[in-house]
Amino acid sequence: MDMEGFAKRVSDTITVARIGVAGAIAAAVIAAWISYLSANKTFDASMVTVGVGILSQEPDGMSSAATRQWATDLVEKHSGLPFSPEAKEALKAHSLGGAKNPISPTK
């Protein structure tokens, strides 16, 4: 084998190795990103559950007003669906499902 042919094979081998390493790095980055998104959605679902749990209880005076406001904000933030102004007002005085009209997020 002549020197030019050998150099070409070495160059091709190095190119293939670089592509393989780049592919492995890309796969690791994609896997980490998917894992991050999954954990983020799990956290959001947990926060919505906490907020709904608080809002499911009947309000018991002024001490719960701030807690109910916090829970409403929590559900809005982590669900991505804002409550209408009417729903927010209803949640101050009633539990979820406790008002005469059902409380639903705005579209």
Indicate whether 66 belongs to any domain.
yes
Number of structural domains in the chain: 1
Residues 41-92 have pLDDT tens digits of 999 999 999 999 888 888 887 658 888 999 999 999 999 999 999 988 888 8
Contact 51, 74 (CB under 8 A): yes
Which structure tokens are listed for 106? Answer: 């705005």
pLDDT tier, 107 (very low <50, low <70, confident <90, very high otherwise)? very low
Q: Closest Cα to residue 90, out of 107, 103, 81?
A: 103
Indicate whether 105 belongs to any domain.
no
Domain interval for residue 17: 3-93
SS3 content of the chain, % helix, strand, coil (to 5): 75, 0, 25
Indicate whether 107 belongs to any domain.
no
Prediction pTM value: 0.62
Indicate whether 99 belongs to any domain.
no
Indicate whether 103 belongs to any domain.
no
Indicate whether 76 belongs to any domain.
yes
pLDDT at 62: 64
